[in-house]
Amino acid sequence: MRFLERTPLVAAYVCPRGIFAIVGKRSGAGVEIERVIEVAVAIESEFAAADQLLTLLRTALIEKANIAISLRGFGVTHHILQLPPARDDILGPIIEREVRRLEPELGECVISWTPLPSLEQGATELVAQRYVLAAAAPSGTVSTLEHRLRAAGHGVTHITALPVAMQRLVEEFDEGGSAIALVAPLPDGAFMGFSLGGALRLIVEPPLPRDSEHESAALAEELELGAMFVRQQFRGAQLDRIALVGTKESLSDIETVLTEKLHLPAKQLGVRGLSPAAFAALGAVLDEQSARPLSLGGDSRRRAAARAVSALHTASLAAVFVLALLGAWTVTETIRTTRATRATQAARQRIQQDSFGLAPIRATADQRRLVRDAMTAARVVAKDRIVLQEALAGIAVAVRAPVQLDSLHLVRNEGRWKAVLGGNVGGLTSAHAIQSLHDVYRELPQRLSVDSLRLDELSYADGTTRFASTIVRFQFSFGVPAKARD
């Protein structure tokens, strides 16, 4: 009955530079876009964002719409995490703890995550890693958007973060399996994602260029630096092509500029005619329809919570049944255990009587074993101390100005030291700062024995000193093997 499906579908990209929406309807497993509505305006808070979205809907004469939102800014954060293999119910608390550790200023927030396909493990990897894309948003931001939209008679079906929307665009429009650089020149700053094996592995979000006439050249420079880090972090991985998300009038030459700069073919991702912001809005609908959506709010989050409660109820009933069976088994085994205990006590008394003469020999053997174990432990501790001192000395030599360390975390684990370095590097340009960071990345393996050296984080910020106009924040992780035991 087609006449019953009159509720319009609205997908909106909400950012500090405006509201960018597409209006359409669901068509089978896809979405049929009827029109695009974009309002570029400065938005200072989530309250203003909700008001601007409602104004857009009223102006377009849209009532009682089902709305899916892709968010950027307003306190929304995201991270790509590598975790040990485990079930989803075990990973959930671990992911929440890691996000709060990486973003200590979050406070009361909503955290969600979605799994990413695993990469092929190299020979040096001990266990296969799980990759997840996690996002968090302040609870006040999500509740404000939901309450104001619902109070106006609209439904909020899904709220997600921008990187998740971009991941769904890759899954929907890319052939998969190839290494691509995803470039989305959005109104509030470009989004660059590097996809390997059908999933984003590195995300770079450079600031808006000061001169819009040279925006293509600035994007090409940032993309070249990101490609360099992809090669370093993923064992020489080479990009196959560049995928441009949407079309923008001020970037009519972007395909030519990126192709000449990186010597890679560049083409549009998906259909032509939509702006990058409209694609970001479309990604919210694709995420809602996916098998494992990353939901920060809306009906989709409530459905996920209801499924978890239902699963818990089923597990509780099964636990009660198992407990009843366990009780019956316990009574039976208690009787058997009582009989066996009596027999064991009698046998122990006979053995003690027979082995009374062996007591001095056993005491001497135990004493020798204790001395041998103590000496072995002392040698292991001494070697670990030497390895730790060598690692600290190597790090101190490799890290030089303008690179500054904010944190150094060392953990002893499974025959090696796990090190995590965090800090920042300043420079007159982004290229200068990245080059200084690259020098440290290249010199660390020369100064000390390391394995699995990875770049976990990379972000940009405006310079705060007179000697640096750009500051790049970073985090390295690597292992320092312990010396072999004698």
Tell me the two tokens of residue 243. 């995928």
Listed in sequence order, the residues at least 6 apart from 384 whose beta carbon sits closer than 8 Å to its beta carbon are 412, 417, 482
Q: Which helix (H) or strand (E) holds 200?
A: strand 199-204
HSE (side-chain half, CA atoms, 13 Å) at 70 = 29
Q: Which of 272, 273, 268 is nearest to 254 (CA)?
A: 268
pLDDT at residue 354 above 80? no
Tell me the two tokens of residue 239. 């990009």
Say whether domain 1-173+273-311 belongs to CATH 3.30.420.380. Answer: yes
pLDDT at 1: 35
The more confidently predicted of residues 373 and 314 is 373
Say whether domain 383-481 belongs to CATH 3.30.980. Answer: yes
d(CA 381, CA 210): 55
**1-173+273-311 and 175-268 share one fold:** yes
Listed in sequence order, the residues at least 6 apart from 455 whose beta carbon sits closer than 8 Å to its beta carbon are 229, 232, 233, 441, 474, 475, 476
Task: Supply the pTM of this predicted model.
Answer: 0.62
pLDDT at 459: 85
Question: pLDDT tens across 90-104, in order?
Answer: 888 999 999 999 998
Radius of gyration of the chain (CA): 29
Alpha helices per DSSP H over 152-275: 162-173, 215-233, 254-262
Write 16-19 long-range contacts (CB < 8 A, 24+).
Answer: 16/42, 16/43, 16/44, 16/72, 16/73, 16/74, 16/188, 17/41, 17/42, 17/43, 17/187, 17/188, 18/42, 18/43, 18/52, 18/187, 18/188, 18/277, 19/43, 19/49, 19/52, 19/53, 19/56
d(CA 448, CA 392): 9
Q: Is 19 left (phi over 0), alpha (psi -120 to 50) or beta?
A: beta
Contact present, 159 and 229 (Cβ < 8 Å): no
pLDDT at residue 251 above 70? no
**Taken in order 163, 168, 174, 179, is the CA torsion positive or negative?**
positive
Ranking 102-106, 188-192, 417-421, 460-464 by mean pLDDT, the lowest is 460-464
d(CA 459, CA 472): 6
What is the band of 132 on the pLDDT scale with cuts at 50, 70, 90? very high
- Rounded mean pLDDT, 227-237: 85
For residue 163, give the amino acid letter: P
pLDDT at 211: 63
pLDDT at 383: 77
pLDDT at 349: 79
HSE (side-chain half, CA atoms, 13 Å) at 144 = 16
pLDDT at 3: 37
Contact present, 267 and 241 (Cβ < 8 Å): yes
pLDDT at residue 485 above 60? no
Tell me the two tokens of residue 10. 């609205």
The more confidently predicted of residues 449 and 120 is 449
What is the band of 147 on the pLDDT scale with cuts at 50, 70, 90? very high
pLDDT at 194: 92
Question: pLDDT tens across 272-321, in order?
Answer: 778 999 999 999 999 999 889 999 998 888 887 776 555 556 666 777 78
Tell me the two tokens of residue 364. 């001497």
d(CA 449, CA 482): 10
SS3 117: coil
| CATH architecture of the domain covering 175-268 | 2-Layer Sandwich (3.30)
- Domains of the chain, by residue range, sit at 1-173+273-311, 175-268, 383-481
